Structure 1
């Protein structure tokens, strides 16, 4: 199934400014039913079957290309693994998954291949959003809708749909948790172990944390930045612990680097503070369940974003929409929530968590 004819694709190349408008006004038919509208269970096969008219009901076969960075990080590995799982869930999706790469030129080549193969849609988590913008625009101009995941392009016209986590919201959620713990202790020492400081996502997380702490008159007293790796987390946490003989609350931006942070904390014999993690790994959640160490909470940064992007591409191509909304088209931008996971609600999240 193609959204646009060959003639339309040729016109888009001649008049690239018309492309986004043409894609945006596609007639996406809203779903006409829900699970509650399904026929009564007749007691037969217990295999779950999509309700008639639901978004999960099998539709026309669609071919979707997917490209993401290398799985050199637990969260990134889960991104691609969650996409692979959709192949079994949706027999009407022909998934073309490119090998993960941190080479921008190779990722550009992967997208060029998708364009030449005339896939129906491309779901792209760029290694570098700015560098991938021109090739994404080229795909859009060829009549192939692009779903941009996590790292935004420089030009909003380079994607029909953008699926984002909430980096600023992560910081806000972590800061609000600290306020709940220490809002009545104006002298509380709050520490922060950030990710890579040059990245906008790290800056957004830190700004959200700072803004939320300000609401309860707290501020970050000690801060270091690591590099999202176990080794970097351990090294920078050791420095912070030496510099801060007393800590009340510590927020670590990333649960993968948190493995090293926790190792440094154990080596230092420190247990006087409450720690909050970031991203929501399964091993962090198991620590929270065990409740025997400093880690008491983590803030989710969903590793479902790639899979969400593929599912949205499928809806777009099959002329469906999000059935729980009155809107008859797939939204332009979707930002996922950043909830705090504690021992009270960890069972809700652990099954979909990634392994660090």
Structure 2
């Protein structure tokens, strides 16, 4: 009888403890490709902001430092810790099928954010929150085409080719100039600068030193575009060159205000960050979410950039 009373008391205490926890309590493991990236920093900050507004929700943030093996280990650690859901900004999108299999085997919901996974299909309890990179490359190059009146030479500074976004943006930039009215534009060079401002600067400096002639630099992101601007300014070539980026970061908008960047494309880090956290929480609660959750891209030019100064 005493044992029964003790057991009942323990159950009562457990029930009271559970009632004291917020209904939405959850722990989310987040592995970012890198902390050392302007846009991904904005994305990370917005995920933290979204989680902080939800009582009982905590994020465990890890920096993969652009190391595939490190990111896989981080996901395995999250699984061992039995987090409620995992959010991944992937280092290399070709590895996402393996990450998906790991999470599926453990029965833990998984949300990819910003960098689209290479999985042919996403199974139940796995989702992607991000923007369609085909669209960003298309609207970026169409605006450059307009500024060049449909003719001229352009050079493309690509992101890390291990990521789907670099490949898609470049592919659709090239597709725009393959058709009228933009087929008077020729891509004279394209190389990767791995999303880095420093590498973008060095690459464009090398092109200039080699005597490459171009009317525009098309960069897969703003960081590389800003590096291109540094190189062009040092060579006194900026005034005759259209520079285009993608992301509409604060630094890029500052360059646009100064007349140095002519085109960028707004990628809504706040919406992606909030969407990833909300999708992860819904999946952790057993709810269904769409496999692909799209956040639209928007063209940004000197005519409308002021409207984006407070967006990210």
* Class of the TM-score when normalised by the shorter of the 2 chains: 0.7 to 0.9
Structure scoring higher RCO (CA < 8 A, sep ≥ 6) equals 1
Partner SS for 2:188: strand
CA deviations on 1:184-221 (whole Å, 9 max, x unpaired) are xx543333322345654323212211222323133334
Once the two structures are overlaid, the 10-residue window that deviates more, 299-308 or 241-250, is 241-250
Q: Report the TM-score, using the length of structure 1 for normalisation.
A: 0.70
Distance 1:339 1:195, change over 3 A: same
The root-mean-square deviation of aligned C-alpha atoms, in Å, is 2.7
Q: Is the 8 A contact 2:145 2:151 kept in 1?
A: no
In structure 2, C-alpha distance between the alignment counterparts of 1:145 and 1:245, rounded to whole Å: 49
Per the alignment, residue 190 of structure 1 pairs with 154
Q: What is residue 141 of structure 1 aligned with on the other side? A: 105
Q: 1:241/1:111 Cα in 2 relative to 1: closer, same or farther (>3 Å)?
A: same
Q: What is aligned with 1:255?
A: 222
Displacement of 1:132: 4.6
Q: Find the aligned partners of 1:237 and 1:314 in 2 and give their Cα distance.
A: 43
Q: Determine which of 281, 291, 297 is the counterpart of 2:263.
A: 297
Paired residues in the alignment total 284
Correspondent of 1:165 among 102, 126, 131: 131
The SS at the match of 1:316 is helix
Please say if 1:285 is aligned against 2:249. no
Distance 1:111 1:193, change over 3 A: closer
* Contact map agreement 1:196 1:225 (CA 8 A) in 2: no
Deviation of the 1:111 alpha carbon:
2.0
In 2, are the aligned partners of 1:122 and 1:144 still within 8 Å (CA)? yes
Query: SS in structure 1 opposite 2:224?
Result: helix
Q: Secondary structure at the match of 2:87?
A: strand
The answer for the alignment partner of 2:142 in structure 1 is: 176
Output the CA distance in 2 between the equivalents of 1:168 and 1:278.
12
For 1:166 and 1:198, the matched residues in 2 are separated by 17
8 A contact 2:118–2:164 mirrored in 1: no
Relative to 1, partners in 2 of residues 1:98 and 1:188: Cα closer, same or farther, differing over 3 Å? closer
**Cα pair 2:96 2:117 within 8 Å, conserved:** no
**Whole-Å separation in 2 of the counterparts to 1:313 and 1:100:** 20
Q: 1:141-191: per-residue Cα shift (whole Å, max 9, x none)?
A: 3322111221414353466211233222221011110232234xx543333
| Structure 1 segment 1-356 matched on structure 2, within 5 A | 60-149=24-113, 150-154=115-119, 156-157=121-122, 160-183=126-149, 186-197=150-161, 199-213=163-177, 214-216=179-181, 217-227=183-193, 228-242=195-209, 247-270=214-237, 271-291=239-259, 293=260, 295-304=261-270, 305-318=272-285, 329-353=288-312
Q: Distance in 2 between matches of 1:167 and 1:124?
A: 18
Q: Secondary structure at the match of 2:310?
A: helix
Stretches of structure 2 lacking an aligned partner (at least 5 in a row): 1-21
- TM-score norm. by structure 2 comes to 0.79
Looking at structure 1, the residues matched to 58 and 212 of structure 2 have their Cα atoms a distance apart, in angstroms, of 56
Q: Which runs of 5+ in 1 are unaligned?
A: 1-57, 321-328
